[in-house]
Amino acid sequence: MKKILVTDDEKDIVELISYNLEKEGFSVLKAYDGEAALRSVRLQKPDLIILDLMLPKMSGLDVCKAIRSNQETTSLPIIMLTAKADETDKIIGLEIGADDYLTKPFSIKELIARVRAILRRQHDENKQLPKEKFSYRSLKIDYASYEVEIEGKKVTLSPTELRLLFFFSRNPGRVYTRNQILDHVWGDDTFVTPRAVDVHIRRLRSQIEKDVDNPQYITTIRGVGYKFAESK
């Protein structure tokens, strides 16, 4: 049974989400502030966290940063909740490592669909990923262990960043539009917008590129999309 950590300072929202997740067969953990959420992540090791942006004691953004910076929790999927409809807040959430976001008020059915989609992708990747490695310039990828190195140093990537890097590195030299990337990396049940693809790629570049303005791995094809450099 998959464990979902629900974090929000509004107890009614936590109870509503928890009730519906439990009805769908999930085990639910609860937290009402950022520090409690981080403590639960470390001690109870949930499979996914639903994280409100505005939290007491420690903001959702800071919780997300802490999760992504810790090697033991870096691959934990995060769905960010925000009461703000401002595009900037959504982009910030994605830039610091959230895998998805929902704006309040939200549909419970949509939230559960997103939870299932993320967990299903993770399960499919674990089941189908072949045991092989990839190396190009100073970038090394171990697809089986999910380890990425740049110049001999391990790089910490979120689940979405890993999926993007795996996809691009397996298809070097081929140009993909944003919609094609959505189809290949997120799948048909995605709720992510083409704009969010740019944000995730920018964050991935910040982790693997020496100069994000002149990338040597994932390059921009103006007016079309992105491609991974041809490895010869």
Give the CATH number, domain containing residue 39: 3.40.50.2300
Are residues 121 and 207 located together in one domain of the fold?
A: no
Q: Is the pTM of this model over 0.75?
A: no
Q: Is the same domain home to 96 and 141?
A: no
How much is the average pLDDT of 110-126?
81
Q: Which of 126, 153, 182 is the last residue of a domain?
A: 126
Over range 167-196, report the average pLDDT: 82
User: In this structure, are 185 and 116 located in the same domain?
Assistant: no
What pLDDT sits at residue 190?
Answer: 56
Residue 98 clears pLDDT 70, i.e. is over it: yes
Domain count, the chain: 2
3-state secondary structure the chain: CCEEEEECCCHHHHHHHHHHHHHCCCEEEEECCHHHHHHHHHHHCCCEEEEECCCCCCCHHHHHHHHHHCCCCCCCCEEEEECCCCHHHHHHHHHCCCCEEEECCCCHHHHHHHHHHHHHHHHHHHHHCCCCEEEECCEEEECCCCEEEECCEEECCCHHHHHHHHHHHHCCCCCEEHHHHHHHHHCCCCCCCHHHHHHHHHHHHHHHCCCCCCCCCEEEECCCEEEECCCC
Task: Give me the domain span that covers residue 37.
Answer: 3-126
